[in-house]
Amino acid sequence: RKKVTLNSLRSLYKSGEPITMITAHDFPSGHVGDSAGMEMILVGDSLAMVALGMEDTSEVLVEEMLLHCRSVARAAKSAFITGDLPMGSYEISPEQALETAIRFIKDGRVQSVKLEGGAEMAPTIKKITTAGIPVLGHVGLTPQRQNALGGFRVQGKTALSAVKVLEDALAVQAAGCFAVVLEAVPAEVATLITKKLSIPTIGIGAGNGCSGQVLVQIDMTGNFPPGRFLPKFVKKYGDVWTESLKAIEAYGAETKSRAYPAPEHTYPIPKAELAEFER
Ligand code: KIV
Ligand code: NA
């Protein structure tokens, strides 16, 4: 497969073909996402929780994000890769945001960055995009602002708040975003926003009227222990955690019984050498 670029994403959008995006946080998850043909890979700050076990995304550092971005970039040779600017690394000023975005390109080896926020982030988005770094917007539910939003809540459930999501999407488009993530927005609202925009919308919990979809890989492959909370919009397409558990349990049992390693897993030594050695 050829490398996906802004041009190929643009032609997918123009033709009405949905754009596929998945998160990845390391070499194997990047590799499998790329092999599955995902057009876009997001090194999302959700890795704070799903890969690092942190309480929420506010804890993850730029340096940590960069390590994960680099590992994904080594694996994903076709997908267009976006790195998520973590909380605290872009809000202070457009200059701070551009500095961080440049680190993501130079050290993180990604092709674009994502940042959360609407109209208030327009000058920041403009600063980064005019420096030649593509920016993916993110409006609706913005998890980095969960404390201000009163938790992980659906946005745009009233006419007034739906207008706010639309205005935010229009503002980040005008500021130069090449696409925008719509998170946790009623499907009808996301569909209408998609019609009003001239850049792709990438939905997560926003219905099937968006220009594309994104999901957190660990969630959709079922790579987590039973009992974990999953948002309503996640569809579990696999049960990777149970598969891994079964494999490791089988290895443990065969190690205890000495069924593993079997002769085919061992290295031979010529008989004459062995006889000499045993003397
Ligand atoms: O961090 C993340 O994984 C994200 C996606 C869910 C959009 O921001
Ligand atoms: Na994120």
Say how far apart CA 115 and CA 36 lie, in whole Å: 26
What is the pLDDT at residue 17?
98
From 78, 60, 34, 19, select the one nearest 214 (Cα to Cα).
Answer: 19
Question: Cis before residue 261, ω within 30 degrees of 0?
Answer: yes
What is the pLDDT at residue 1?
85
Whole-number Å distance, alpha carbon 59 to ligand 1 midpoint, is: 15
Q: What is the mean pLDDT of residues 130-134?
A: 98
276 included as an active-site residue: no
Q: What is the mean pLDDT of residues 136-164?
A: 94
Say how far apart CA 181 and CA 212 lie, in whole Å: 9
Say how far apart CA 248 and CA 238 lie, in whole Å: 18
Q: What is the mean pLDDT of residues 190-213?
A: 98
Burial 203-233 (b: 16+ CB within 10 A, else e): bbbbbebbbbbbbbbbbbbbbbeeeeeeeeb
Q: Tell me which H or E stretch contains 228.
A: none
Q: What is the mean pLDDT of residues 205-220?
A: 98
What band does 231 get if pLDDT is binned at 50, 70 and 90? Answer: very high
Ligand 1 binding pocket, CB closer than 6 Å: 23, 42, 44-46, 84, 181, 183, 204, 214, 216
- Check pLDDT > 90 for residue 137: yes
Say how far apart CA 80 and CA 62 lie, in whole Å: 20
What is the pLDDT at residue 150?
85
Say how far apart CA 139 and CA 142 lie, in whole Å: 6
% residues pLDDT > 90 (the chain): 96
Whole-number Å distance, alpha carbon 142 to ligand 1 midpoint, is: 9
From the centroid of its chain, how far is CA 14? 23
Task: Please choose from 22, 29, 41, 42 the residue to mutate so as to test ligand 1's pocket, defined by most ligand atoms within 8 A of CB.
Answer: 42
- Alpha-helical regions (H) of the chain: 6-15, 27-35, 47-50, 62-75, 94-106, 122-130, 146-149, 159-174, 187-196, 217-220, 240-257, 271-278
pLDDT tens-digit readout, 61-82? 999 999 999 999 999 999 999 9
Q: Global pTM?
A: 0.96
% residues pLDDT > 70 (the chain): 100
pLDDT, the chain, mean = 97
What is the pLDDT at residue 232?
93
Q: What is the mean pLDDT of residues 265-279?
A: 97
Whole-number Å distance, alpha carbon 273 to ligand 2 midpoint, is: 60
Catalytic residue among 59, 91, 120, 183: 183
> Which residue has its alpha carbon closest to ligand 1 atom 8?
44
pLDDT tens-digit readout, 23-54? 999 999 999 999 999 999 999 999 999 999 99
Name the phi and psi angles at 258, rounded to 5: 65, 15
Q: Which residues contact 164 (CB under 8 A, 6 or more apart)?
A: 118, 155, 156
The ipTM, to two decimals, is 0.99
What is the pLDDT at residue 197?
98
What is the pLDDT at residue 151?
86
Ligand 2 (ion): residues with CB under 5 Å are 44-45, 84
